[in-house]
Structure 1
Amino acid sequence: MQLPSIDVGLMTEHLATHKGVIHKLRNYYNQVNDPYLKILIYAQIIIMEDHVKVMLTLLDPSHNQWVQVIPLEQVFQQLNVNQIQPVKEGSDKAITLEVHSTSKLLANDNFTSASMMKNDNVKQVHYDMAMQQANFEKLYSDYIKNRNWSVTTRAGKDEQLKVISHFQDMFEN
């Protein structure tokens, strides 16, 4: 199929980014000690390699079939992710923080790109890619939280009630 130029341009950027990120993830995979973190990184590599295949298929002008990304759950089942427990003491903090940040940035980039894309299949694939990266971000976030490597501040009840009151007044007038 012939694609709009914006779709081709955005996928060109994404493919270059994927090359660098997959390389980085492979290096991290070889460096980490925690088997749970290792399997998450490996799963992310598989997903990103699938993203590359999907984008190349979408770019093929002779391909006219609907294309989808591999379901994340399928990769997790194949790798038995739920069977692996994280180790209690983590020494992989810097890598974990980096893959967490990378996942968040990729999710945002895919979502933003999808909102600009014109072809329905290209758009849907990039929304799906964004959701997959957002899922990795959540898994890494949970891992970070369980190790007390981050701090999340909370607004107090009074502050939240003040906001509610402010907007209730605003919308009632």
Structure 2
Amino acid sequence: MNPYHSGYVEVPPLLYSMKNPSSADAFGHHSFSHDNKWIALESHAASKSMAETNFTSALMMRDTNVRYAHIEMALQQITLQEGFAEVIKQRGWSFSPHVGVADQINTYQHFQTLFHEYN
């Protein structure tokens, strides 16, 4: 940013589309390559990281205009993150491990025991 410019700084609006590509085969089924999955997962993680960075940067900015520009960019990146999350969910690409209650309790108790041993 130009330090001699003290006017309003506007972040241009975000223009994007998360529409499904029309890559249907002869039977009308959509095919998505394995690479698309990793691109979507990485883009989701990158947009989350960028939003976190911009929110943190906004907290450190003295100039109000610059602070609000960082906040606006962070909000745009959250919008992208939500779009990628929806694509990932629609394709069934999200991963949530299925762990039983007994395993969760055993893990919790294990760390509770370690915590109490060192305190």
What TM-score results when the alignment is normalised by the length of structure 1?
0.47
Equivalent in the alignment of 1:149: 93
Distance in 2 (alpha carbons) for counterparts of 1:98 and 1:151: 14
Is 1:90 the counterpart of 2:17? The answer is no
Q: How large is the Cα RMSD of the aligned pairs?
A: 2.1
Q: State the Cα distance separating 1:148 from its structure 2 match.
A: 0.2
Cα distance between partner residues in 2 of 1:94 and 1:138 = 16
- For structure 1, the 5+ residue unaligned runs are 1-58, 154-173
2:51 pairs with 1:107: yes
Counterpart of 2:57, as a letter, is S
Question: What TM-score do you get using the length of structure 2 for normalisation?
Answer: 0.66
Number of matched residues?
89
- Residue in structure 1 matching 2:9, options 59, 62, 67: 67
Deviation at 1:107, TM superposition (A): 0.4
Deviations 1:26-51 (A, max 9, x none): xxxxxxxxxxxxxxxxxxxxxxxxxx
Match of 1:46 in 2: none
Which runs of structure 1 show a deviation greater than 4 angstroms over 4 or more consecutive aligned residues? none
Residues 117 and 64 of structure 1: CA distance in aligned 2, closer, same or farther (over 3 Å): closer
Q: After the TM superposition, which residues 1-173 of structure 1 pair with which residues of structure 2 at under 5 Å, given as runs?
A: 59-72=1-14, 75-76=15-16, 81=17, 84-87=19-22, 88-91=30-33, 92-152=36-96
